[in-house]
Structure 1
Amino acid sequence: MVKRVLAGTLTLIVLAFVVIVISVMRFDVPREELVGKYAGGASQFATLPSGASVHFRDEGNADGPALVLVHGSNASLHTWEPWVAELGGTYRIVTMDLPGHGLTGRVPGDDYSREGMAASVHELTEALGLTRFAIGGNSMGGGISALYALDHPERVTALILVNSSGVPVVREDTDPPLAFRLARMPVLSKIMRYVLPRSVVEEGVRKVFVDQSKVTDEMVARYFDMTLHEGNRDATRMRFASYSARDEVAFSERLGGIEMPTLIIWGDKDLLIPVAAADTFKERIPHAELVIYENVGHVPMEEVPVESAGAVAAFLGAALAEPAPAPAAAAEEPEGVE
């Protein structure tokens, strides 16, 4: 009798465990399904020389100065739409989903390093015929933008760094999102390839905002869906596995070579990259201005879009006031753009 009771109890425990695992298992979502859901409006796709099919948007004033914006880790081009709404009347704004992100997904060669990302930005801007433009990035995208400015100074008119990566960070009394901590753990990051509760993604989204009213169900659903895009979790695992603190130190030592006007924007309540990093950027980049917003988190372009876009407009208005080089010959129709 006792054995039957124990056996029945064990069976119930096993069944409960199976139900729990099944409830949090998440398989990849086909690209076509997500394209139909999120690639509306200005969305386009370009096949780059590297073979990647990149999701991008080319919006705003087609005759205005060009501004290329690069999103952060595990985000997508959608993060820049508030700035597009504020600045699009003046500037031509190009945004893209980086390799391993959004609707771009996993790419041939699986290069998700800062250098690989910057190369993708270069390929897209060349495909669009952009020869001179301002570039800005948030978080990981800021580090990519800074690298691009260092490697292609002849193309960059101005640089905008928003809560940017690129300098060594000492985190004191901060609590990064669980998803980021798990992604840095080799075994658990592999488990996340198949087991990913929506709550983990929501916690990550909420932690980049101070004003929780900005976090909508639609926003959380989009982040979750983009995470499940086929190949994105594999790309994220590879990207985090390749991170090196030593490389970050070496990169930060190059920042003094940035010669174009630079605007640094930060939220003082950033839990991912503490505001002290903003001062480090300001110290190392010769021609840098710094704007810090109180009670704002990691994504000022979404949390305080009017104020942050206003700072960008004032900065670019001054930075681009000097006469520009003679325009290049008209570009041919970009290859691979659908």
Structure 2
Amino acid sequence: MVKRILAGTATLILLALAVIVISVVQFDVPREQLVGKYATGASQFVTLPSGASAHVRDEGNPQGPVLVLIHGSNASLHTWEPWVAELDTTYRIISMDLPGHGLTGRVPGDDYSREGMATFLDELMSTLKVERFSVAGNSMGGGVAALYTLEHPDRVSSLILVDAAGIPVERDEDDVPLAFRVASMPVVSSVMRYVLPRSMVEEGLRKVFVDQSKVTEEMVSRYFDLALHEGNREATRIRFSAYAARNEEAFAARLGDIEVPTLVMWGDKDGLIPVSAAYEFKKRIPQAELVIFENVGHVPMEEVPEESAASVRAFLAGVEAEGTTPPETAPAE
């Protein structure tokens, strides 16, 4: 009798564990299942020389100056939609999902470093036959934009850094999203290839906004779904595993070599990359203009789109007035 009770209890425990595992394990989702939901009429998939298939939107005024937008870590080109809505009558706006993100997904060679992403950007612009442009980057994308400007000064007419990475900073670990902390743990991060609670995605989003009303169910669902795009979680693991070896001091020391007109904009309540980094960017890039938004977090383009886009418009108008307007490129096909 006792043996039967123990056996029955063990079976119940195993069943309970199976239910728990099934409820938290999330398998990769093929691109085809996500395209219909997250690609729009402006979306295209561009095959690059490296073999990567880049999800790109090329929209706005096809005859206008080109503005290229680079999103941050674990985001996607959707983060720029508010700016596109504000600026598309004036500018030709090109946004893309970086390697290991959005609908681009994992890329051949698995290079998700800042250098790899700058190479990806260069391949994309060359494939689109865009020779010269302004480039804006948020967070991780800001570091990519700055590096690209350093390596290809002949192609960049102006640089916009939005709560950008690239300056060594000290931060309160409590302000860092749990997903980022887990992804930085060598052993535990492997679990995220199979387990990704939706609550963790939501927690991360809430930490980058001051105005919590901006974090909608639709936004959380999009971030969650695109995180499950085939290969994205493995790409994230690879990317975060390399962070510890990155020499941010050496990169920051190069920022003084940036000579193009530069706009640095920041949310003063950014906990992920504190506003002190904004002043450091300004110090290291002497010609940079600085705009600080009050009571705003890590993504001003989403939290205060009208105000931040107005700053971009004024900055670019000034660049154009000084005669550094990029020459016309072939309009988007």
Q: TM-score, normalised on structure 2?
A: 0.95
Identity percentage over the alignment? Answer: 71
1:205 shift after superposition: 1.4
The equivalent of 1:219 in structure 2 is 219
Judge conservation of contact 1:137–1:160 (CA < 8 Å) in 2.
yes
Secondary structure of the residue aligned to 1:290 is strand
Where does residue 77 of structure 2 map in the other structure? 77
Question: Who is 1:51 aligned against?
Answer: 51
The SS at the match of 2:248 is helix
Cα-to-partner distance string for 1:149-171 (whole Å, 9 max, x where unaligned) = 10111111110000100011101
Unaligned stretches of 5+ in structure 1? none
Cα separation, 2, equivalents of 1:246 and 1:54: 25
Q: Work out whether residues 68 and 136 of structure 1, in 8 Å CA contact, stay in contact via their aligned partners in 2.
A: yes
**Could you give the per-residue CA deviations for residues 261-288 of structure 1, whole angstroms, max 9, x where no partner exists?**
1111111111211111111111111211
Report the CA distance between 1:13 and its aligned residue.
2.6
Corresponding residue of 1:16 = 16
Aligned-pair CA distance for 1:11:
3.0
1:197-208 alignment runs, 5 A limit: 197-208=197-208
What whole-Å deviation, never above 9, does each CA across 1:176-210 have from its counterpart, x for those lacking one? Answer: 11100000011111111011111111111121111
- Does 2:97 correspond to 1:100? no
Q: Which amino acid aligns with 1:36?
A: G
What value does the CA root-mean-square deviation take over the aligned residues?
1.8
Quote how far apart the aligned CAs of 1:174 are. Answer: 4.3
1:215-294 alignment runs, 5 A limit: 215-244=215-244, 246-294=246-294
Q: Deviations over 1:112-154 (max 9, x none)?
A: 0001001111111111121111101000000000001101111
Q: How many residues align?
A: 333
Give the residue type in structure 1 aligned to 2:35.
V
Which stretch of structure 1 is more off in the superposition, 6-15 or 250-259? Answer: 6-15
Aligned equivalents of 1:230 and 1:30: distance in 2?
5
Whether the 8 Å contact between 1:53 and 1:104 is mirrored in structure 2 is yes
> Structure 1: which amino acid aligns with 2:207?
K
* CA 1:43–1:246: 2 relative to 1, 3 Å: closer
Structure 1 counterpart of 2:160, one-letter code: I
Matched with 1:318 is 318
**Map of 2:159 onto structure 1:** 159
Question: What residue in structure 1 maps to residue 42 of structure 2?
Answer: 42
Distance 1:172 1:23 in 2: 32
Q: Which residue of 2 aligns with 1:138?
A: 138
Rounded to whole Å, the distance in 2 between the matches of 1:191 and 1:133 is: 40
TM-score (norm 1): 0.94
SS of the aligned residue for 2:175 comes to coil
Mapped contact 2:296–2:303 kept (Cα < 8 A): yes
Alignment of 1:158-177 (within 5 A): 158-172=158-172, 174-177=174-177
Amino acid at match of 2:81: E
In structure 2, the CA distance between the partners of 1:189 and 1:326, relative to structure 1 (3 Å rule), is closer
Mapped to 2, the partners of 1:264 and 1:75 lie a distance apart of: 20
Alpha-carbon contact 1:259-1:286 (below 8 Å) kept: no
Provide Cα deviations, 1:93-123, integer angstroms capped at 9, x if missing partner: 1000001000000001111000100111111
Deviates more, 1:67-76 or 1:201-210: 201-210
Q: Secondary structure at the match of 1:202?
A: helix
